Amino acid sequence: MSKLQGKRIAFVATDGFEDSELTSPWEAVTAAGADAVMIAPAAGTITGKNGHEQPVDHVLGQVSADSFDALVLPGGVVNADHLRLDSEAVAFARDMFTEHKPAGVICHGAWLLVEAGVVDGRRITSYPSLQTDLRNAGADWVDEEVVVDQGLVSSRTPEDLPAFNAKLVEEIGEGEHERQHA
């Protein structure tokens, strides 16, 4: 399958990510022909909360949104909490939205989108404990398996990964979404 042939997908995470929320979407986009790229705050390797080690391809601050076709933000409380405090991660996410790129976010990954200021007026889901944060940032939070809003794909937990992955590949395949915005 080559639905995403030639597409470069930026995965942004750091230590403490939810393993399956990185590995499952990674496998889905690469199986569809995309080039998945791991971007993190520091070089080397990042480790998931269950021990998956992922080599880092690029460091935040040394890449730009115009080099990628889509963004994926895995969850994991520690991962998401660290990234939302990283100004380069926040800027990169905002830039991806400014350039109308499709984005996928699952579980706690939405914290970075709150910090980036890109959820106001958007319909989104997440791990339930983020609903107040997302609503306070202007989002219409719903409790659904997968939500698609103008190129933004969101899901709640690892149990939602099959639906999340299918919609993620579909939205990336559609390309830039004019109504995707920062």
Which among 22, 23, 20, 28 has a CA at the least distance from the CA of 4? 28
Catalytic residue among 58, 100, 108, 177: 108
Residue 23 belongs to some domain of the structure? yes
Residue 52 annotated as catalytic = no
Residue 125 belongs to some domain of the structure? yes
The tens digit of pLDDT for each residue in 85-124 reads: 999 999 999 999 999 999 999 999 999 999 999 999 999 9
Dist CA 83 CA 5 (whole Å): 29
- The CATH number of the domain holding residue 84 is 3.40.50.880
Number of independent structural domains in the chain: 1
Residue 12 belongs to some domain of the structure? yes
Residue 181 belongs to some domain of the structure? no
Overall pTM surpassing 0.85 (yes/no): yes
* Paired tokens of 103: 């984005």
> For residue 174, what pLDDT is reported?
84
Q: Which residue has the tokens 């403490």?
A: 16
Residue 180 belongs to some domain of the structure? no
Name the residue range of residue 27's domain.
8-174
The tens digit of pLDDT for each residue in 5-61 reads: 999 999 999 999 999 999 999 999 999 999 999 999 999 999 999 999 999 999 999
